[in-house]
Structure 1
Amino acid sequence: MVVPPDAAAFAVLGPLEEAIAGRQKELHAAKAALSAFTEIYTETRRKEEPPLTLLTGGELINRSLAAAVAACRTELLTAQPGGGRPPHALGEALERDLRLLGRGVRQQTIYQHTVRSHQATMSYIEQITDAGAEVRTLSEVFERMIICDRRVAFIPVSEERSVAALQVRHPALVRLLAQFFDNAWARSIPVHADSPSMRSSPTVTSDVQRAILLAVVSGETDDSIARRLGMSRRSVAEHIRKVSQRLGSSSRAQLGYLLATSGLLDPDGPAQTET
């Protein structure tokens, strides 16, 4: 008896298709079970991770930072003191940041006002803000800080940032660091890299000058002020020289006294000098 091809195909392939469908159901069930186990494992591992980890050496610090930043899913917060950054560091940061922004990660960065006169840093800022990042500046940034998804943070252990860093995972400490960042962000001034007026606005100039003069009153040296504000020692000395001429000061001690009594540092009387 001759059997039509369609009937023969149904007779032969039907059981195979049923078997495949059954195996697919088993596969989906196994995936669902493994997914549940994966979530449990991830949560358990997260709880097992130490709240504080000391990272020593530039290689380990950079590797840990790169892994945490690459794992960012929603938000990256960074505070970058020290003024303008070297071109090689900006190049590495640009590549990383554009990838993050392309994934929809929100990025907020705080620099010091002095980056507004640093061409390489401003070029980098223009590119990342075009891609959706937000950048603001303050006269003084408290310390370098990187916070990923408000779950893990990195802070330096000493002034020599490449020597050692602390990786923070304790929820309370990360929340505290994020609050420091949020408070600084609220006080900072937005940077619009395509707007020349924002590079040296009166507010920015006044903030920098007041920070320098307050440091003079406190007895800081030019070198100390320059390091803290992320600017050159020559720029600090020039600011101080102009104020000294304006007040008729003949010594550093006299300048500190005159600044403290002249009203230049009062909130209602911004300390501004001609540039």
Structure 2
Amino acid sequence: MRKASLDFLGVTSEEEGLYRQLLRQGSLTPDPATDTKIADRLVALGMATETHTGALRPVAPGRAVERLIEHRVHRVQSELEETTHACGVVDSLLKEREVAALPRVTADSPPVQQIQGMENVRAAIDELTFFVRTENLTTNPIGVLSPESIEFSRPIDLRTLRRGVRMRTLMAAPALDDPGTLAYLRELAGEGAEIRISHHPLERMIICDRAAALTPLDPANTSKGALLTREPGLVATVIELFERMWTMAKDLPKLDDQPPSDIERRILKVLYNADKDESGARELGISVRTYRKHVASLMTRLNASNRFQAALLARERGWF
């Protein structure tokens, strides 16, 4: 059996030793003579947070290991993508076959293509974003992303951002009230995406490199399919509409700028006294799953390592 160590995730023995000490003590002030570089590394890896006094607090083990895994996966994926791009394997494979359902550009491609069915639409989105090089513009008129949608979008979005593509995303206002969606948007923002929240109606669209635009066949029923246009005049019109909506929207609130919602305030009050999630959810009249989603979101915003600490930090901020 493998020794219970974090070395396989790129953590040195000194870094792991300090992290384990943090977990035992709850917090500590690094020794400037010996621990400063190690402490900075723990913060950079997402294993610890630093208070305004310079003290370190440990991130919960589950979350810390999750972040370490993400770091390693991103590093390996970036290396593989760079190698893939350098050797031209994708272009080589694409020459082997023609895929009628996908929006590949050929000399005979029409300026406007109709794509039927969500499976083909998703394949079209994947191919468009794979080849985007400068800018990717998207809107979401609903504002709430399902876990399945986030799972589908995450590798595409992160891959695009890692290539240095400018990503601008417009989300409808309900995004601010959904913990899962909000956490994902903050994740993208942390990777360099520009995200704004609109309190006005949005039209659904995806625009790549200002050269191709994807819009729904039926805005009321996106499952019917989409229209892909590369006709310059139509693309310019869609871009103009996007820019108009972008100007009217507001930047995604920063963690420190966004006050808790009414349900979050109620959860924090219960969190301060309740011992179990089940009793807290029952007191608020919500499901345990919903309760836990809000708690996880609050812990992230407050950089808290446990529920009780989150309640204390929230109280210090005057959130309840």
Report the TM-score, using the length of structure 2 for normalisation. Answer: 0.47
2:250 to 180, 189, 192: 189
Mapping of residues 5-84 of structure 1, within 5 Å? 48-84=108-144
Give the partner amino acid of 2:145: R
Give the partner amino acid of 2:110: P
Identity %: 30
2:208 to 148, 157, 160: 148
1:177 to 224, 238, 243: 238
SS at match of 2:152: helix
When you count helix as a share of all residues, which structure comes out higher? 1
Alpha-carbon deviations, 1:141-169, whole Å to 9, x = none?
33210000011111001111011210111
- Which of these two proteins has the greater Rg computed from alpha carbons? 1
Number of matched pairs: 156
Question: Cα gap change, 1:52/1:192 in structure 2, threshold over 3 Å: closer, same or farther?
Answer: same
Question: Cα gap change, 1:199/1:56 in structure 2, threshold over 3 Å: closer, same or farther?
Answer: farther
Q: 1: CA distance between counterparts of 2:256 and 2:151?
A: 22
Is the Cα contact below 8 Å between 2:135 and 2:167 reproduced in 1?
Answer: yes
What runs of 5+ residues in structure 2 fail to find an aligned partner? 1-104, 262-320
Deviation at 1:83, TM superposition (A): 2.4
Alpha-carbon deviations, 1:139-198, whole Å to 9, x = none?
133321000001111100111101121011101100110011011111110003523527
Runs of 4+ aligned residues of structure 1 deviating over 4 Å after TM superposition are: none
Is the Cα contact below 8 Å between 1:81 and 1:140 reproduced in 2?
Answer: no
Partner in structure 2 of residue 105 of structure 1: 165
Cα RMSD (Å): 1.7
Mapping of residues 105-144 of structure 1, within 5 Å? 105-144=165-204
Q: 2: CA distance between counterparts of 1:143 and 1:199?
A: 29
SS at match of 2:138: strand
Is the Cα contact below 8 Å between 2:206 and 2:215 reproduced in 1?
Answer: yes
Partner in structure 1 of residue 226 of structure 2: 165
Partner in structure 2 of residue 35 of structure 1: none
Is the Cα contact below 8 Å between 1:84 and 1:121 reproduced in 2?
Answer: yes
